[in-house]
Amino acid sequence: MTDSTGADTSGTGTFAEADLLSWDFIQDPYLTYREMRAGTGPRRLVIKTLSTGLHAWLVTEYSDVRRLLADPRLSKAAVGAAPIIAKHSTVDVPGESITSESMLFSDPPQHSRLRRMFSRAFTMRRTEDLRTRIEEIADQLLGSVPSGAEIDLVESVAMAIPIAVIGELLGVPRAAHHDLRRRNRTLTSVDSAPSEKYRAYMASLEYFRSLIAEKVRSHDTADDLINAMINPDNEERFDESELLSTIFLMMNAGYETTANLISSSVYALLKHPEQLALLRGDATLIPNAVEEFLRYESPLNLSTLRYTTEPVEIGDTVVPAGEVVFLALCSANRDPDRFAEPDRLDIRRNAATHLAFGHGIHHCVGAPLARLEGEIVLARLLDKFPRWEAAEPLDRLSWRYTLQFRGLERLPVRLHA
């Protein structure tokens, strides 16, 4: 990427270029983020997204990122985002736009209402009740892995388990999982055209619309999340577009982040065999280790897009109203002002204040489920396969992400019983 440390931060000058989808950045964003944190204040950049470039501000310091994640002056409301994006786009984007009425892209009071309704359906009890089923899914899948055989852990484990779990949670038939994963890959691929993304999005929404209609028509009594949202225990209800957007959000974001957590955790342990030995010798460390993996290789690189509704002071810089802001979660979680020796993996570290799941009112609602899946899969892997071996040099493996998600393309391993 071009030098960003000299970017204008007055709000009136030119923009530096930051290709956050370049090969070099995707493979090691931490080098760039270290350089950015060495400066002062946010960087005013042209940030390349999946479809265009956006004139935007990038915030990299932990203290600023955490504060701004909870700052109501940074809006996420989809209804106001379109003119802001159009104003700051470097090119006209062809094709239809994708909008959402989910809680992820809303502000209070709409966000408060949507999150309240969703939380009544997606309770901690419902998450904890999945524990036994997650263990069964993991045991069944790992039971088919021959000891010593080479497998791609991303495809065979990290993606396979979360899609099965989120599918069962929502009440999506297993036969539909493959198509939903394929469409999600189109949505998150840097190689997909905007029109392809739109078609994939609409196809997924149409599938969920049909699924809801069938559940209603057949008086489906299954204890799944979609039924719980269709038939709430009070008079407060989702309208159709809100329900569809919420289901779509859970189905796609609900497994991508967990898949990245599982694969990057195994990758980190393979790169740090002393940590793997420590974890193998003391399984009680697994919950704490998961927090460290979330900090060390955050499944999300950046927060979703926010825009200022009034001037916001960040360090010694005042960002005007009507500006696009991205918050670098990966950078914040490697900030030495918050975490000592941040580039060192330490599964005994207290990493509970990491920002991998965000902070504030938009803190990820699926965080408890992601943690639970991460803990169970790691425990089952260590129990069934005490010895792990990378089937290819780890430094030759490639990372993949959209502007938000960050995960391995593949992870060839041999697991030995």
Q: Are 170 and 135 in contact (CB under 8 A)?
A: no
**Res 22: pLDDT:** 81
Torsion, CA 23, CA 25, CA 31, CA 32, rounded to 10: 140
Q: Are 249 and 100 in contact (CB under 8 A)?
A: yes
Gap between the Cα atoms of 334 and 239, Å rounded: 41
**Res 355: pLDDT:** 98
**Res 99: pLDDT:** 63
pLDDT per residue, tens digit, the chain (417 aa), is: 333 333 444 444 455 667 777 888 888 999 999 999 988 778 888 887 766 788 999 999 999 999 999 999 999 998 889 899 889 988 765 545 566 778 999 999 999 999 999 999 999 999 999 999 999 999 999 999 999 999 999 999 999 999 999 999 999 999 999 998 888 888 877 777 878 888 998 999 999 999 999 999 999 999 999 999 998 887 889 999 999 999 988 887 778 899 999 999 999 999 999 999 999 999 999 999 999 999 999 999 999 999 999 999 998 899 999 999 999 999 999 999 999 999 999 999 999 999 999 999 999 999 999 999 999 999 999 999 999 999 999 999 999 876 678 889 999 999 999
**Res 96: pLDDT:** 54
Q: Are 226 and 170 in contact (CB under 8 A)?
A: yes
CA nearest neighbour of 12 among 267, 318, 375: 318
Q: Are 363 and 97 in contact (CB under 8 A)?
A: no
| pTM confidence score | 0.91
**Res 4: pLDDT:** 36
Q: Are 268 and 158 in contact (CB under 8 A)?
A: no
- Two tokens at 242? 């809100």
Gap between the Cα atoms of 25 and 232, Å rounded: 45
**Res 3: pLDDT:** 33
- CB neighbour burial string for 355-373, b if at least 16 within 10 angstroms, e if fewer: bbbbbeebebbbeebbbbb
Q: Are 54 and 47 in contact (CB under 8 A)?
A: yes
Q: Are 194 and 94 in contact (CB under 8 A)?
A: yes
